[in-house]
Structure 1
Amino acid sequence: MGQSGLKMDRLHKILIGACALTTVCSFILGIGVFTLLNQNTLSIFKALTWNSLQEETDITLSILNEIDPKTLEENLQWISQSPHEAGSNRDENIAMWIRQLFRKYQFDDVQVSTYKALLSYPSAVEQSRVELLDGSGEIQFSTNPGGGFESGRAMSNMGGPSAHFHAYSPSGAIESTLIYANYGRDVDFLKLQELSIPIVDRLVIVREGQISSAEKAFNAEAYGAVGLIVYPDPETAAKDGESPLMVYPNNWWLPSDARRSDSVLTNPGDPLTPGWPAKPNVHRLKQELVESWPNIPSLPISYNAAREILSVLGGRDVPYGWHGRLQGVQYKLGGEFKLSSNVKRVLLTVKNQLTPIDVSNVIGIIQGSVEPDRYVILGGRRDSWGNGAVNPSTGTAAMMALAQSITKVMKDEGWRPRRSLVFASWGGGQHGEIGSTEWVEEHFPKLKDRTVAYINAEGCSFGPSLDTTATKDLEEVILEALKLIPNPQVEQNYMGDEVNSNTKGEGSYYDYWMNSPGDGFPTNNLGFSGPRAIQRTMGRGDFTSFQSLMGSPVMDIQLVPEKHNLSSFPLASTEYDTFAIYKSAVDPKLQNIQTCAKIMGYSVRALSDRPILPNDATSYFDIMKEGLLELQTLGMFDNSLEQLQNISLGPLETAITNFGPQAQNFSERVKEVDENNPLAVRMINDQIMGLARIFVLKSDFPGITGYNALVGSVKDQPRSVIFPKLRFLVSKLAEQNLEEKNRRHEKLRLHVTELFIMIEQATSYLKAYHII
């Protein structure tokens, strides 16, 4: 072989060897890359299928145990040291403090959302008042005898006194005779008409309770009254009596000089931008086109002032059930005054002003580790016309203590929630849920598809006994929380309550709650009221936009006294809701607010980390059956509607009947989902979230957003009802003239159709994924 041949042979062997080596190296490298990719895949798969709630119970306990009583007390004392109405410097200071804490706790994102909303304030020039006049116009009594501002009232950061008022009441000076109209409900005004008591062009005085101040004002206007006066009757505001020992500052009942501010806005959100966020460049309605505030002036007064007014009122005796508990007052219907008094007329003067103001929300976000595009939202109102220690500041203080606890556990334990957590401090809440509504309107498309649940934290603690309301699908989560949280071992009397000694210091909070005394519950075989139940959400709150606009599951956490059947703190929205009374008479050892924070903590943990979301499709079936039965039992649909107007509940009843078996099948299918299959989990969760959204209708009632949900608030109803829009349409038929009645009949036909189609769509939605 020649020299050149030997070189070629050697080169050939080298090339073969190099190729072999490359092949071996590639194979080894491939194994390494495959192993690395496989390990990453396994790690990702494990994260997708990991049930942290079930497998890491120590995380849950750590979150609850890290809720610090000292932090709760410091937070509450600092927030409630002075009034902080929406738009004030003090409210802005609290907002910035919350933002600073979110950043200190190392939230992944902290935002401040600001909206230019139209807010209502009392005049800084002239005080609103009620005056009794004699025949020559001389003042015989005035709620503001000095003519200036109330002595001893804290100055508002808005420039005027922090006076008592009805936000969004128009200004005016109305002089007329006076009518007593009980609670100011439709049924009360109808009773006055039945008794031939003239209402048109009269002033009306009513007591607080049963329905909102806004509904009272709209009712009074609808029946022809020209002004409204609202007072808190001792029957509900001072149930233990008017003695100084039984009211503030010695107890938490309302003193005789207290006046409670309120809003008479019917629709949540900025009144000039209904349906869209109040950002700088959006179109705003002209004020004369706004339908969500009344056209007659209204004013809150104290029950001491009401005593002076009602004691000179003459006329017929009030009907049975219309008496309050004002000492020295013979309750009369009015229209005239007692001959023994010199009073001939009443003058109501209201001085308010409307001002565009920046309203700020503070939003803190903890990014989820597996499903960052799914949100568990915890929020609460921040602002208060008074110091607001109980309402709303116990909710804010608890939320911030929980934020600290969760982020500490994340740092110490290396845990991160599966889904994103959103903490929200809402501004403009007392005026009418301004901040929360504007935020939902701004982010509606994203929130509607991604919100798992909303938890409301406002005024959460003024007693030891749970009075939380929720949509049915969250009831399971709340009961789980109660069974995990220890009995608070109440050794003190909260708000005058005697604690059931059989449960003191034993078992879980659930045991205590189920066996504790409480008004309005049937007595169980232990001799205590029960069994307890989580009630449907009712009334208004920052949960309204989440529930009524988006169909999101919501809960509203609140702890109340074991007796007295109270749903709100008697001193709320007055200058007497202070940290001092909270610490001395409401919750001396801060055990109630700790319980509230722990219920929040477990709920947030469960909703963020449970692979399959809470669900109860059959509960929709039960709710709709109940609503249909109520309509039939109350006789709201009689034969004349079907025979004369071709309006029948038959299609609705059929749709509900067909929904039942499909809901049951879906519930069974949820139980069979393989939690180790992340795609199956995601698909079933999408169905769970989507079902709730189906039961939200587009509203054609401006200013009444609660009517487009399956369960919502209805005018003149103290509790939420099923099929609210349907009930509203039927209830108004008798009050209309023939032309309007025909229009209402057509709306009723359309709505019955809208309802049964909605239910048919829900039935179809629950079918297996591949079936249309």
Structure 2
Amino acid sequence: MDQARSTISKIFNGEPHSYTRFNLTQNMEGDNSQVEMKLSSDMDEEAGGNGVGDHLNHNSNRKPHAAEKPGRKPKNLCFMVAATVLIFVIGYLIAYLAHGKKDVAPTCEASVDPVAEPLERETGAAPLMNWEDVKKLLTEKLSAAKMEPVFREFSVVNHKAGSKGDESLANKVLGKFKGYGMNTWTDEHFIKVQDAPAAGANRFVFKGSAEYSKGFLSYSANGTATGGVLYAFYGQESDFQLLRDRNINMTDRVMLIRAGRISFAEKVANAAKMGASAVLIYPDPTDYPIGDSTQLFGHVHMGSGDPYTPGFPSFNHTQFPPVQSSGLPKILAQSITSAMASNIRRQLGGHNEPETWGGSYKLGEENDAITVEVNNVLAEKKIHNVFGVIKGFVDADRYVVIGAQRDAWGAGFATSTVGTSLLVELARSISDMVKNDGFKPRRSIVFASWSAGEYGSVGATEWLEGYLSSLSMKAFSYINLDRVIKGSTGFKVSASPLMHGLIESTMKEVKYPDSSSTLYSQFAKINFESNVLEPFKLDAAAYPFLAFSGIPSVSFGFTSGNLEYPYFGTELDTREKLNVAAGNQVPQLAETAARFAGHMVLRLVHDHLLRMDVMKYNNIIRNHVVQINTKVYSVKRMQPQLLPKALTVQWLISASGSYGRVAQRLVTDMQNSDLEDIEMCRIINDRIMAVERNLLSPYVSPRDSPFRHIMLGSGPHTLKALSNHLDGLKNDHPESDADLFRNQLAMATWTVQGCANSLAGDIWALDNEI
């Protein structure tokens, strides 16, 4: 109404001499609203004279009540018609607007509903809390005493993926997140996994004696295989190379292999390359003092996620092509106990095993026949991932993800209970800091509880597959809480090189339990990289985030030196067993682990610019390039017919140089940036985030090579594989192929150059010196 009056006033250059009265009523049965409009003016007074035109002239000398003669001038008639039409149009528009509001309920409650005040958001770029105060707040929230009740709440005897125990834990986690005032949601997946035979058990027959095993390895091929037993130590590539050097036939042999050092899947894949027909994996007492009858459980998928929907999420009612992951083995694989393995080894003949392997037994010969029978059952399971988010106050659409596995083969105390408890405690602590202590994270924090981790990070990988295009642009790091306590005398971290600096600084801030020394002074000592950092293992829960999705990731944990925690993959992973391995310091170590993870999370969402060192990859790329260049010249010298004279590594060298220059330019931009400029900070952070995902090779299929990272992935597309391929060419290995090498070299070159281009930012800032 006010707008209509204002419009009339502007048209007439003064206060209107009419008023408009509205009476809006709504027909409750759906009839159109009626608009009653009454216009009153001095029309009678203005009937004489020059009409509306003169009425607008406030200095007119005309008498207000002078009567006009019947014959009016055409000009005055035009003015009156125009005024009438104008008033009609305005009235029609007002009626139309009133009619458009007919659906507004005429109740008093609707008009007085209080509007909820939105949560205050930061409008400037300056941090709203000093970092020292943030650290102090987190210290106050976490304690060893608070860990104990959480451990008890989330300790469950049976919580295999998809079971009622797993679902019950999911609901507990969801309830906690809701109780902390977080926005929550769940993801439901229908996955296919292999379980042990519903009736009976898998078995093997050796020297006329049959043995049955309760343990099993999911995703093994099914069927029966017979062959001579061959002991292959840990089943590493170097172990099989040693057997090959001894001219031992490995075709159709049944490999007997120790657990440890590499994943079950890698052992089986390496054996398959040698032409083996089956693999038996056992826990040797030297590495696993767990009793000679303890069963092992695990999987042998050379990948992660549901292998029956490779590259696709396992959502319900979705149609995908009937394909299987290339990482599924085509040979049999079965776990056996230490006692079963000892009985086999005592009866083997053939060559003596190498002294470096122990030297006490024979390797086995082809007439040491054994029959292996595997009858695993393919089953569909419904699993749930549970999420809660604390939204950021500046860049809410950028987030760090912190997650933990929820399922286990048995009690799984070290496997999942500790991680789930830490996840919940960190969610409680940080939520409380935001709600009650004034902490305002710049970016968001997503807390995730995964299922089906024991089958190969299935829950986490299905989530990544489902939202890959979004996550690769918005999730800037992943912090894994699985298996953070395996001992107490060591501390190991696997991480993206981008995060090494953040890890080192965090270790200098977090103290070791019951000590005045920090984690850094306790474990890093002289050399941080050699004493703390270790490569990612293929079965690490954070590995798919890094090598499949290109999200900088970190896994960490307290260890017992170089010894593995022996109860992973068994039903003996209990609180009591972990207490012994951790020196009865489980709550204290859990508190420290929570602080370590919490400090990294908070630093990543507190600072204006992401704490990631883009120059780290420069040294790694250069080292690979130097190695490849040296080997190319070596092959040309020793096998000149394999590689053309024109072939050089100059393009790869140039791409490496491009990366180094744009990385240094970004460091300079960060140093010279105006932290008050929110948009500039966001642009720089997006350039940093682009590094990891652009090191994923765009030339390989996730189905064939899911871990596409050319530095840290696995497959022929990696720079390490290029170097190994040159070794094969040099030694005339039958699987080496000069044309394939040249193709892979070209793809790796343009992956590095593409990463450099992305890091440069704007198209006009590209490094064109290649």
Shorter-chain TM-score: which interval? 0.7 to 0.9
Trace 1:32-51 onto structure 2 (pairs within 5 A): 47-51=123-127
Q: Are 1:456 and 2:452 matched, yes or no?
A: no
Alignment match of 1:222 (pick from 255, 273, 296): 273
The total of aligned residue pairs comes to: 646
Q: Tell me the residue number matched to 1:542.
A: 541
Q: Tell me the residue number matched to 2:160.
A: 85
Q: Would the aligned equivalents of 1:462 and 1:587 in 2 still touch at CA under 8 Å?
A: no
Q: Which amino acid aligns with 2:558?
A: L
The alignment's C-alpha RMSD in Å is 3.1
Q: Would the aligned equivalents of 2:718 and 2:748 in 1 still touch at CA under 8 Å?
A: no
**Cα distance in 2 for residues equivalent to 1:199 and 1:768:** 52
Q: Which amino acid aligns with 1:543?
A: A
**Cα distance in 1 for residues equivalent to 2:286 and 2:685:** 48
User: Could you state the TM-score of these two structures normalised by the residue count of structure 2?
Assistant: 0.78
Q: Are 1:470 and 2:520 matched, yes or no?
A: no
TM-aligned CA deviation for residue 622 of structure 1 = 0.4
- Post-superposition Cα deviations, 1:314-367, rounded to whole Å, max 9, x if no partner, equal 11101232227xxxxx32111167xxxxxx642322221111211221111111
TM-aligned CA deviation for residue 768 of structure 1 = 6.8
TM-aligned CA deviation for residue 651 of structure 1 = 1.6
Q: Which amino acid aligns with 1:549?
A: F
Q: Tell me the residue number matched to 1:482.
A: 507
Q: Tell me the residue number matched to 1:624.
A: 621
Of 621-630 and 263-272, deviating more is 621-630
Alignment match of 2:363 (pick from 325, 330, 333): 333
Q: Would the aligned equivalents of 2:699 and 2:747 in 1 still touch at CA under 8 Å?
A: no
Trace 1:220-619 onto structure 2 (pairs within 5 A): 220-238=271-289, 254-286=290-322, 289-323=324-358, 330-335=360-365, 345-464=369-488, 465-489=490-514, 505-515=515-525, 532-561=531-560, 563=561, 565-566=562-563, 568-589=564-585, 590-619=587-616
Q: Would the aligned equivalents of 1:167 and 1:263 in 2 still touch at CA under 8 Å?
A: yes
- Post-superposition Cα deviations, 1:44-67, rounded to whole Å, max 9, x if no partner, equal 7x64312246x2532332123312
Q: Are 1:196 and 2:212 matched, yes or no?
A: no
**Cα distance in 1 for residues equivalent to 2:494 and 2:529:** 16
TM-aligned CA deviation for residue 300 of structure 1 = 1.2
Q: Tell me the residue number matched to 2:643.
A: 645
TM-aligned CA deviation for residue 98 of structure 1 = 0.9
Distance 1:488 1:474, change over 3 A: same
Q: Would the aligned equivalents of 2:711 and 2:718 in 1 still touch at CA under 8 Å?
A: yes
TM-aligned CA deviation for residue 707 of structure 1 = 4.8
Q: Would the aligned equivalents of 1:132 and 1:345 in 2 still touch at CA under 8 Å?
A: yes
TM-aligned CA deviation for residue 229 of structure 1 = 0.5
Q: Are 1:723 and 2:719 matched, yes or no?
A: yes
**Cα distance in 1 for residues equivalent to 2:613 and 2:671:** 11
**Cα distance in 1 for residues equivalent to 2:389 and 2:497:** 26
Distance 1:125 1:643, change over 3 A: same
Q: Would the aligned equivalents of 1:199 and 1:223 in 2 still touch at CA under 8 Å?
A: yes
Q: Would the aligned equivalents of 1:81 and 1:579 in 2 still touch at CA under 8 Å?
A: no
**Cα distance in 2 for residues equivalent to 1:320 and 1:391:** 35
**Cα distance in 1 for residues equivalent to 2:625 and 2:566:** 36
**Cα distance in 2 for residues equivalent to 1:376 and 1:207:** 38
Q: Would the aligned equivalents of 1:205 and 1:228 in 2 still touch at CA under 8 Å?
A: yes
- Post-superposition Cα deviations, 1:646-701, rounded to whole Å, max 9, x if no partner, equal 34323212321343233223212211111111121111111111233221112536
Of 630-639 and 59-68, deviating more is 630-639
Q: Which amino acid aligns with 2:642?
A: L
Alignment match of 1:127 (pick from 182, 201, 208): 201
Q: Which amino acid aligns with 1:332?
A: K
Q: Tell me the residue number matched to 1:671.
A: 671
**Cα distance in 2 for residues equivalent to 1:701 and 1:444:** 14
Secondary structure of 1:360's match?
Answer: strand
Secondary structure of 1:293's match?
Answer: coil
**Cα distance in 1 for residues equivalent to 2:541 and 2:634:** 33
TM-aligned CA deviation for residue 457 of structure 1 = 1.1
Larger radius of gyration: 2
Distance 1:753 1:224, change over 3 A: closer
TM-aligned CA deviation for residue 702 of structure 1 = 5.8
Q: Which amino acid aligns with 2:698?
A: K
Q: Tell me the residue number matched to 1:25.
A: none
Q: Which amino acid aligns with 1:87?
A: G
Secondary structure of 1:99's match?
Answer: helix
TM-aligned CA deviation for residue 176 of structure 1 = 3.2
**Cα distance in 2 for residues equivalent to 1:713 and 1:655:** 19
Trace 1:646-661 onto structure 2 (pairs within 5 A): 646=644, 647-661=647-661
Q: Which amino acid aligns with 2:540?
A: G
Q: Which amino acid aligns with 1:276?
A: F
Alignment match of 1:64 (pick from 139, 153, 156): 139
Structure 1: runs of 5 or more not aligned: 13-39, 145-149, 151-162, 239-253, 325-329, 338-343, 490-504, 516-522
- Post-superposition Cα deviations, 1:166-196, rounded to whole Å, max 9, x if no partner, equal 0111222333321112222333334333323
Distance 1:194 1:636, change over 3 A: farther
User: Could you state the TM-score of these two structures normalised by the residue count of structure 1?
Assistant: 0.78
Trace 1:676-755 onto structure 2 (pairs within 5 A): 676-698=676-698, 700=700, 705=705, 707-714=707-714, 723-727=719-723, 729-730=725-726, 744-755=737-748
TM-aligned CA deviation for residue 732 of structure 1 = 6.2
Secondary structure of 1:747's match?
Answer: helix
TM-aligned CA deviation for residue 737 of structure 1 = 9.3
Q: Which has the higher contact order (CA 8 A, sep 6+)?
A: 1
TM-aligned CA deviation for residue 584 of structure 1 = 4.6
Q: Would the aligned equivalents of 1:77 and 1:579 in 2 still touch at CA under 8 Å?
A: no
**Cα distance in 2 for residues equivalent to 1:233 and 1:762:** 44
TM-aligned CA deviation for residue 643 of structure 1 = 5.9
Alignment match of 1:177 (pick from 206, 213, 228): 228
Distance 1:727 1:65, change over 3 A: farther
Q: Would the aligned equivalents of 2:542 and 2:555 in 1 still touch at CA under 8 Å?
A: yes
Q: Would the aligned equivalents of 1:128 and 1:351 in 2 still touch at CA under 8 Å?
A: yes
**Cα distance in 1 for residues equivalent to 2:544 and 2:634:** 30
- Post-superposition Cα deviations, 1:98-120, rounded to whole Å, max 9, x if no partner, equal 1111111111x211101111111
Structure 2: runs of 5 or more not aligned: 1-44, 46-54, 60-116
Q: Tell me the residue number matched to 1:17.
A: none
Distance 1:579 1:737, change over 3 A: closer
Q: Would the aligned equivalents of 2:195 and 2:377 in 1 still touch at CA under 8 Å?
A: yes
- Post-superposition Cα deviations, 1:200-239, rounded to whole Å, max 9, x if no partner, equal 222221112332211221222232222111112233224x
**Cα distance in 1 for residues equivalent to 2:322 and 2:753:** 40
Secondary structure of 2:124's match?
Answer: helix
**Cα distance in 2 for residues equivalent to 1:83 and 1:630:** 50
Q: Which amino acid aligns with 2:643?
A: Q
**Cα distance in 1 for residues equivalent to 2:150 and 2:522:** 27
Q: Tell me the residue number matched to 1:771.
A: 765
Distance 1:259 1:731, change over 3 A: farther
- Post-superposition Cα deviations, 1:32-89, rounded to whole Å, max 9, x if no partner, equal xxxxxxxx9xx97x64312246x25323321233124244223334434313221222
Q: Which amino acid aligns with 1:101?
A: K
Q: Would the aligned equivalents of 1:675 and 1:681 in 2 still touch at CA under 8 Å?
A: yes
